[in-house]
Amino acid sequence: MKIIDVLHKDAIQTDLKATDKKGILEELVGPVATIAQVDAEELVRVLLERERLGSTGIGGGIGIPHGKLKRLDNLVLGFGISRQGVDFESMDGRPTHIFFVLVTPENSTGLHLRLLARISKILKNDILKERLMSADDPEQILRLIQEEDVDF
The answer, yes or no, to whether residue 118 has pLDDT greater than 70, is: yes
Mean pLDDT to the nearest integer, 113-136? 93
Whether residue 113 lies inside any domain: the answer is yes
Mean pLDDT computed over 55-79: 92
Nearest alpha carbon to residue 25 among 4, 46, 52: 46
**Per the domain annotation, does 47 fall within a domain?**
yes
Note the pTM of the prediction, 2 decimals: 0.94
Q: Confidence class of residue 35 from pLDDT cuts 50, 70 and 90?
A: very high
Residue 104 has pLDDT above 60, yes or no: yes
Question: Is position 97 within any domain?
Answer: yes
Q: Does residue 80 lie within any of the structural domains?
A: yes
Q: In terms of DSSP H, where are the helices of 1-148?
A: 3-6, 21-36, 40-53, 109-122, 126-134, 138-148
Active site residue 66: yes
CA–CA gap between residue 82 and residue 125 (Å, rounded): 18
pLDDT at residue 152 is higher than 70: no
**Residues 111-127: what's their mean pLDDT?**
91
Q: How many domains does the chain have?
A: 1
Region 77-104 average pLDDT: 96
The conformation of residue 123, written as its DSSP 8-state character, comes to: T
CATH number at residue 14: 3.40.930.10
Q: Is 152 inside any structural domain?
A: no
Residues 69/106, Cβ–Cβ less than 8 Å: yes
Range of the domain at 65: 3-147
Cα separation of 133 and 116, whole Å? 20
Determine, yes or no, domain membership for 49.
yes
